[in-house]
């Protein structure tokens, strides 16, 4: 995780300690942009203004205001020739759209954000997941671009919720406080979301390592941790990893003080046809079994002292 001095953020070899966004009515775009900066480590002053004098100093970043974009200090999208987004993901018939200010910002800090949350293998997945689920909808709605109904039937809930925080009088003295409130709550929600996504991607990386290590050592089972419950999806999405699992009989996960044994399937397409099935008769030979499912695809055991004997027995059945 990058080390940052309080109130200072480093991006594209440039540091700043103040952020300017426009005053008046706020939207998801400007609230989201400031929230992203806070999650990236910025703790400096946020000024809501349209006065160019406020962003003249070289330690100031202008977001969603200034009428300029350079990818260093200026991240506005209201000017002619504002960049259009690069990727549209799964949206059928997607019309082109300029980036919103938060979108321009995400282009530059998104992959660094992944690293900030400890993602090493899966940086592009982190970047694209946020880009598709959060940034792209904001690009469309903030730029007023019509999109196919298949993408979204109405304004995103987040868009409407943040808009509802505005004062009826957009130039009221209370508007800045409401903006701060919107930023505070969105930053918290995004922080939890980013953390969960990062943990998911880190777990996927650990799952791959666990399977590759078991295969390289010629083991017939793979040990997984409690946060590795997505191991089936990892196998289904990787031809290379699946090809290494032919000798693996089961996956073992912790279940409190006990262990869950989940038998490996014969194919990635079907998770009901197992390579081997646990048999109820195993309970007689191995009393450490607490439970064996009647369909034989999984069981619960007190300890793993005789796991190799159990697998030997299964192969002889």
The per-residue pLDDT for range 195-205, each reduced to its tens digit, is 999 999 999 99
Task: In whole angstroms, give the CA distance from residue 224 to residue 161.
Answer: 40
Query: Is-contact 211 248, C-beta < 8 A?
Result: yes
**Which H helix or E strand runs over 224?**
strand 221-224
CATH of domain 219-316: 3.10.310
- Which residues sit opposite 15 in a β-bridge? 10
Question: Which pLDDT band, with edges at 50, 70 and 90, does 5 fall under?
Answer: very low
| pTM greater than the 0.85 cutoff | no
Per-residue buried b or exposed e for 74-110, using 16+ beta carbons within 10 Å of the residue's own CB: bbbbbeeebeebeebeebeebeebbbbbbbbbbbebb
- pLDDT for 151: 66
Tokens coding 237: 């999405």
- Each domain of the chain, given as residue ranges in start order, spans 9-201, 219-316
Residues contacting residue 112 through CB under 8 Å, at least 6 positions apart: 2, 11, 40
258 phi and psi, to 5 degrees?
-120, -175
Q: Which whole number is the average pLDDT over 250-269?
A: 92
Query: How many whole angstroms from its chain centre is CA 129?
Result: 6
The per-residue pLDDT for range 135-171, each reduced to its tens digit, is 998 999 999 988 766 666 555 678 888 989 999 888 8
- pLDDT for 8: 40
To 10 degrees, the CA torsion angle through 301, 303, 307, 310? -40
């Amino acid at each position: 995780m990058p080390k940052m001095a309080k109130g200072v953020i480093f991006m594209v070899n440039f540091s700043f300690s103040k952020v300017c966004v426009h005053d008046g009515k706020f939207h998801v775009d400007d609230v989201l942009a400031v929230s992203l900066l806070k999650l990236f480590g910025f703790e400096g002053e946020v000024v809501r203004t349209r006065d160019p004098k406020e962003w003249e100093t070289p330690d100031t970043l202008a977001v969603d205001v200034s009428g300029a974009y350079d990818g260093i200090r200026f991240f506005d999208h209201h000017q002619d020739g504002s960049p259009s987004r690069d990727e549209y993901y799964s949206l059928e018939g997607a019309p082109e759209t300029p980036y919103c200010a938060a979108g321009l910002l995400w282009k530059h800090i998104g992959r660094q954000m992944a690293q900030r949350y400890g993602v090493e293998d899966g940086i592009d997945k982190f970047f694209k997941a946020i880009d598709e689920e959060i940034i792209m909808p904001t690009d469309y709605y903030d730029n007023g671009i019509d999109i196919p109904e298949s993408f979204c039937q109405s304004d995103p809930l987040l868009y409407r919720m943040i808009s509802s925080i505005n004062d009826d009088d957009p130039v009221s003295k209370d508007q800045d406080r409401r903006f701060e409130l919107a930023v505070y709550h969105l930053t918290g929600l995004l922080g939890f979301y980013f953390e969960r996504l990062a943990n998911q991607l880190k777990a996927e990386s650990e799952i791959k390592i666990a399977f590759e290590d078991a295969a390289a050592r010629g083991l017939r089972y793979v040990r997984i941790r409690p946060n590795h419950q997505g191991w089936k999806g990892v196998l289904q999405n990787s031809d290379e990893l699946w090809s290494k699992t032919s000798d693996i009989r089961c996956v073992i996960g912790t279940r409190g003080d006990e262990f869950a044994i989940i038998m490996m399937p014969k194919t990635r397409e079907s998770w009901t046809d197992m390579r081997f099935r646990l048999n109820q008769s195993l309970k007689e030979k191995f009393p450490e079994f607490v439970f064996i499912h009647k369909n034989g695809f999984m069981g619960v055991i007190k300890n793993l002292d005789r796991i190799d004997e159990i697998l030997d027995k299964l192969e002889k059945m």
